[in-house]
Amino acid sequence: MNILEVKELQKAFATQTAVDQVSFSLEQGSIFGLLGPNGAGKTTLIRMITGIFYPDSGSIFFQGRPFAALKDSIHIGYMPEERGLYKKMKIGEQAIYLAQLKGMSRSDATRKVREWFNRFEMQTWWNKKVEDLSKGMGQKLQFVTTVLHQPRLIILDEPFSGLDPVNSNLIKEEIYSLARQGATIIFSTHRMEQVEEICDHIILMNRGRKILDGTVAGVKQEFKENEFRIGLDSPPPSELTAGAFEVVERRDGQLIVKITSGHHPNDVLRYFIDRGIGITSFTELLPSLNEIFIKLVEGTPTARQFHRL
């Protein structure tokens, strides 16, 4: 069943169309990457899904029914990119308060907060104030307050920024475990290596429009350039002429070749076997998501930031 279906969603502000005819659907239990450069409309899209903004047109279906922001907010956990907590409020109380705002009873909320604090080894923080926490500690607290009420849909905007590798892994493991328990996760980020690692399904937005939608493996297949890396046991001849492929790069006794259209990898292998050159390895080179994204958004005004990665 699709937990979330978004159909032709549109939202315009005075100066520009932030989200333009975006449609997609999300399967329950999947980890979904929402990608795009700054200003692509991701935050606006998320704010419509969390009920903070009303769309100008289009529709959102949550668990098969039309989305009702107030009733469904108990099932949604949202961790915005810009973190926010009350600085002067004690941590335990704050977590309980935020869970109560989601609709949990005080006793349920207290029990859940204790459970999560134990899991993240935060018990001793209970009476501390947020202003006394480090950035990473604040981040962990924010994550706890986001998933505390056992939402069906969890939206995380850059959840790992400011976390050290140990805490990053801790959160990552929790994300996997929440997904195994049936929660669906929308994961918005610029960090492509994290997307490749974590996400099943991605969409890419640029300038308000959806420009790519698919599974991580599928997208890579779609954008592959038919390039292979070949390891050889003896140095390859400096001049290689073959109709089946052309050499793109030579490095450390390895060749990167691009198979010309109409040919098959077997043709490449046959070429070397016929010449008595031993093959030690043969791997298909798939483009990284980063490369795909640079390719897709390059040339648009917002593309520059991706080059920095």
73 vs 150, which CB is nearer to other proteins?
73
Q: Considering the complex, what minimum distance in angstroms separates the CB of residue 301 from other proteins?
A: 18
Q: Considering the complex, what minimum distance in angstroms separates the CB of residue 214 from other proteins?
A: 28
Residues in Cβ contact with 276 at an 8 Å cutoff, skipping those fewer than 6 apart: none
Q: How far apart are CA 67 and CA 5, in angstroms?
A: 9
Q: Considering the complex, what minimum distance in angstroms separates the CB of residue 185 from other proteins?
A: 16
11 vs 220, which CB is nearer to other proteins?
11
Residues 101/93, Cβ–Cβ less than 8 Å: no
For strands 31-35 and 184-189, give the pairing: parallel
52 vs 247, which CB is nearer to other proteins?
52
Q: Which residues bind other proteins (CB under 8 A)?
A: 13, 47, 50-52, 70, 73, 76, 78-80, 82-89, 97-98, 100-103, 145
45 vs 268, which CB is nearer to other proteins?
45
Closest CA to 178 of 138, 206, 144, 210: 144
Q: Considering the complex, what minimum distance in angstroms separates the CB of residue 94 from other proteins?
A: 9
Phi, psi of 31 (to 5 degrees): -110, 120
Q: Considering the complex, what minimum distance in angstroms separates the CB of residue 50 from other proteins?
A: 4
Closest CA to 57 of 48, 46, 70: 48
96 vs 216, which CB is nearer to other proteins?
96
